[in-house]
Amino acid sequence: MTPLVSFGGLVVVAALAFVAPLLVASGPARRLPAVVLLIVSGIVVGPSGLGIVTLDLPVQILALIGLAFLLFLAGLEVEVHDMRGRRLRLAVASFGLSFALALAIGAGLGAIGLVDAPVLVAVILVGTSLGVVIPVLKDAGEIDGDFGQLVVAAASVADVGAIVLLSVLFTRDGDPAAAALLFALFALLAVVLVVAILRAERAGILAPVLRRLQDTTAQIRVRAAWLLLVGIAAVAEALGLEVILGAFVAGAILTIVDTDTTRTHPLFRPKLEAIGFGVFVPVFFIATGLRFDLGALLAGPEAVVLIPVYVAALLLARGVPAIVLGRSAGPRRLAAAGLLQATLLPIAPAQIGLELGLLDAATSAALITAGLIAVVVFPSAALALLGPRPDSSPRKQSPQQLEHARS
């Protein structure tokens, strides 16, 4: 009897997901993000390369869950409680300037015939890959300082703003006004859900049972997070909005309602990261490589020319607005902030543009390639500008240590 689905391709994908971080950790280019190697490995084994693996049903399903989990975990990174006051004002001002520059860039590229959907390109250009920016700031020892938190706030606003703009302006039915109303309804439902959960927490209705079952085979908090992710994504889809918006909002909701100030469940978020980054997210990145149309990218010079154009556009649209974040940071830190803000891997929006027929395969491939270059080059350059970690300077040795060293 022939099986309905084959797990042969999934075995190769799982093997690539396992090997990629090992190669990065043991190789000379330790600054190379593992996500780049995952996508490139998908291209190598996929239809554009050796043709070993195709995007079959098991890989498609896991990749879809991986995309949702990636946005869910990105929503978890948004420190909603800290997004206020001067930090929020500067982040919003930076995003506003970024969007204005992106619209001008998109209009310019459309005027010379390089793109057919200038507004979509503008929306793509204003995003930032928050999941890449935060580890870089941690490596530089800047994540807890005012500068690091300001960069995180700017990246968070860009992440949220790009997803909202993408969901409202580019809908399946093509009616932005109706999409705006549906988005308002979606936001209202999210607020109602947050209020209901917070009230239930204050009343202590679920706390005892959650605490009792959280580390048993029930893993009740993880199941609740999974229900929240799938439920909010389903609501967004039912309203005609993008699933990625629902997944991101689900993560943000969990950040708001689960502060865990009493440290009753410190393993909760590591468990979610283990599930997401350990299982589903790598499949999504490898599947992106499997979808990558290298033939369309290399079919003519137009798409190849677009790659450096998009890299420069990212630097202009996202790098220049870093000047809004404050001159007191100094030129090196502002330059680093600009590079981090320009760090973007636009896989999801490029895929959405392709599905809506607003981008062709060559343009989508050029955008993803430019994003790969940005993710490889910009964070490394930012780390070089920020310098070593503050605690990485040689420690003063005691007389006993000096005596031992002499001997």
**pTM for the predicted model, two decimal places:** 0.81
Give backbone dihedrals phi and psi of 68, rounded to 5 degrees, phi first.
Answer: -60, -45
Three-state DSSP state, 360: coil
What is the DSSP-derived secondary structure letter of residue 268? H
- How far CA 100 is from CA of 104, 276, 359, 370, in Å, comes to 6, 34, 21, 21
Under the banding of pLDDT at 50, 70 and 90, the label for residue 347 is confident
Mean pLDDT to the nearest integer, 384-396: 57
Q: Which of 60-74, 109-123, 243-257, 287-301 has the lowest mean pLDDT?
A: 287-301
Q: Is the pLDDT of residue 185 over 80?
A: yes
Alpha-carbon span 239 to 241, nearest angstrom: 6
What is the model's pLDDT at position 376? 84
Length of the chain: 407
Give backbone dihedrals phi and psi of 123, rounded to 5 degrees, phi first.
Answer: -65, -40
Under the banding of pLDDT at 50, 70 and 90, the label for residue 393 is very low
Chain segment 265-274, per-residue pLDDT in tens:
889 999 999 9
Contact by Cβ (8 Å): 141, 391: yes
Mean pLDDT to the nearest integer, 273-296: 90
403 Cα distance to chain centroid: 50
C-alpha Rg value of the chain to the nearest Å: 22
Alpha-carbon span 397 to 407, nearest angstrom: 15
Q: Is the pLDDT of residue 105 over 90?
A: yes
Q: Comparing C-alpha atoms, which of 102, 100, 90 is closest to residue 156?
A: 90
Mean pLDDT to the nearest integer, 24-40: 77
Q: pLDDT: is 326 or 102 the higher one? A: 102
What is the model's pLDDT at position 350? 87
Q: Is the pLDDT of residue 398 over 70?
A: no
Q: Could you give the percent of the chain with pLDDT greater than 90?
A: 34
Mean pLDDT to the nearest integer, 97-115: 92
Alpha-carbon span 274 to 280, nearest angstrom: 10
Under the banding of pLDDT at 50, 70 and 90, the label for residue 1 is very low
Chain segment 294-335, per-residue pLDDT in tens:
888 888 788 888 899 999 999 999 999 888 876 656 788 888
What is the model's pLDDT at position 406? 38
Any residues with CB less than 8 A from the CB of 200 and at least 6 apart, and which?
206
What is the model's pLDDT at position 327? 61
What is the model's pLDDT at position 154? 87
Q: Could you give the percent of the chain with pLDDT greater than 70?
A: 88
Within 13 Å of residue 93, how many CA atoms lie on the same side as its CB? Answer: 12
Q: Is the pLDDT of residue 253 over 90?
A: yes
What is the model's pLDDT at position 395? 41
Alpha-carbon span 36 to 225, nearest angstrom: 28
What is the model's pLDDT at position 59? 93
Tokens standing for 371?
């994003």
- Average per-residue pLDDT for the chain: 84
Alpha-carbon span 349 to 36, nearest angstrom: 17
Alpha-carbon span 284 to 38, nearest angstrom: 9
Mean pLDDT to the nearest integer, 76-103: 84
Q: Comparing C-alpha atoms, which of 150, 107, 86, 141 is closest to residue 387?
A: 141
- The count of other CB atoms within 10 Å of the CB of residue 329 is 18
The residue written with tokens 């440290």 in the block is 263
What is the model's pLDDT at position 388? 63
Chain segment 112-166, per-residue pLDDT in tens:
988 888 999 999 999 888 777 877 777 677 767 778 878 888 888 888 889 888 8
Contact by Cβ (8 Å): 252, 277: no
Q: Where are the alpha helices (DSSP H) in 54-145?
A: 57-77, 85-111, 118-125, 130-139
Under the banding of pLDDT at 50, 70 and 90, the label for residue 82 is low
